[in-house]
Chain A
Amino acid sequence: DTAVSQTPKYLVTQMGNDKSIKCEQNLGHDTMYWYKQDSKKFLKIMFSYNNKELIINETVPNRFSPKSPDKAHLNLHINSLELGDSAVYFCASSQFSQGAGVTEAFFGQGTRLTVV
């Protein structure tokens, strides 16, 4: 069983299109994240949700809209795709433990988005 799964694994689309990436975790975690890894290989946080509520929203264009229908899912919808959105997007989850802080995060295998 895959702990954090993302779909699709690869996504090629034209500029201006709208696309979604789905993420599901079966670990029972209460916190989920979206990270972006660009061509320079830096991993940057985009969003973080705890119990379906947005807690981190970094400087991301509002064309990016996360949706968390329940604690096990955090989907990423992107409107009006641009060339610069090409990157690998990683979903992750973790569990907040009282007194111990947030435990380790588990990452999905990534979605490679190519905008042409």
Chain B
Amino acid sequence: DAKTTQPTSMDCAEGRAANLPCNHSTISGNEYVYWYRQIHSQGPQYIIHGLKNNETNEMASLIITEDRKSSTLILPHATLRDTAVYYCIVRVNYGQNFVFGPGTRLSVLP
């Protein structure tokens, strides 16, 4: 699986959009981009994933650059409950596990 690079930490004001970047310059054509988050030592929670196109669900939006070498997770209106460690993962399919890096610690400030 391709390696990802994320900032160690970020702050965001409550109610504002949180934009979390991820670099995955060695991603291959069949690797998906997944985002998970972990709130205070709870189990990691799936947020969103995509291959080429931008994706949106009730939690977040995922913007993938045309060359697929980077992506951004957008939480449109961050709340205090969004404070967590956010993991960007790229992976292929069957037989491959989810490889977690250190992630980005997002602090949503009141």
Residues A56 and B98 in contact, CB atoms below 8 Å apart: no
Q: Is the interface of B mostly helix, strand, loop or mixed?
A: loop
Residues A90 and B44 in contact, CB atoms below 8 Å apart: yes
Residues B43 and A102 in contact, CB atoms below 8 Å apart: no
Q: Please, which residues of chain A bring their CB within 8 A of the CB of B34? A: 104
- Separation of A102 and B30 alpha carbons in the complex (Å): 12
- Separation of A48 and B92 alpha carbons in the complex (Å): 15
A27 → B minimal CB distance (Å): 12
Give the size category of A's interface with B: 20 to 34
Which of A59-67, A74-82, A107-115 has 4 or more CB atoms under 8 Å from chain B?
Answer: A107-115
- B-side interface residues toward A, CB under 8 Å? 30, 32, 34, 38, 41-46, 49, 85, 87, 91-100, 102
